[in-house]
Amino acid sequence: MRKNKRILFTIFLNLLMSLFVIYLNPRFDILTLIDFLLINVILFLILRNIENKKEKELEDKINNIFILLHSLDIDSDNYEIIDDEFGKLRDEIIKIIIENKRIAENAEKNKETLREYTKDIAHQIKTPLTGSLLLLDLLEDEEDKSAKEYISRLRDNLLRLYNLSDILLKLAALDSGTIEMTRDRISARELIEDIIQNLKDYFINDNVEILLDGDDFNLICDKKWTYEAAFNVMKNGLEATEDRHIEIHLKETNLYKSIFVEDFSKGLDREMLEKVFKRFYKLDPNSKGYGIGLPMAKSVMERQNGELLYHKGKKSNAFELRFYN
Residues 316 and 194 in one domain: yes
Sheet holding 209-213, edge to edge: 209-213, 245-252, 256-263, 317-324, 307-312
pLDDT score for 19: 65
Q: CATH number of the domain at 100, please.
A: 1.10.287.130
In a domain, 76, yes or no: no
Residues 196 and 306 in one domain: yes
Q: CATH number of the domain at 209, please.
A: 3.30.565.10
pLDDT score for 146: 65
pLDDT score for 22: 64
Residues 125 and 204 in one domain: no
pLDDT tens track of the chain, all 325 residues? 555 566 666 666 666 666 666 666 666 667 666 766 777 777 777 777 877 787 787 777 777 766 766 665 555 454 555 555 666 766 777 777 777 777 777 777 766 665 666 666 666 676 777 777 776 677 666 666 566 676 777 777 777 777 677 777 777 767 666 677 889 999 999 999 999 999 988 888 888 899 999 999 999 999 989 998 999 999 988 988 888 899 999 999 999 999 999 998 888 888 887 777 777 666 666 666 667 788 889 989 998 989 999 998 888 899 999 999 7
pLDDT score for 69: 61
What residue type is 178 in one-letter code? T
Choose the final residue of a domain: 119, 147, 176. 176
pLDDT score for 231: 93
CA separation for the pair 12, 81 (Å, rounded): 34
CA separation for the pair 20, 26 (Å, rounded): 10
Report whether 87 contacts 81 (CB < 8 A).
yes
Residue 16's contacts (CB-CB under 8 Å, 6 or more residues apart) are none
In a domain, 79, yes or no: no
pLDDT score for 119: 61
Residues 109 and 196 in one domain: no
| pTM score of the predicted model | 0.56
- Domain range for 118: 93-176
Phi, psi of 315 (to 5 degrees): -115, -10
In a domain, 43, yes or no: yes
Distance of CA 190 to the CA centre of its chain: 32
Choose the final residue of a domain: 176, 192, 215. 176
Longest distance between any two alpha carbons in the chain, whole Å: 136
| Total domains present in the chain | 3
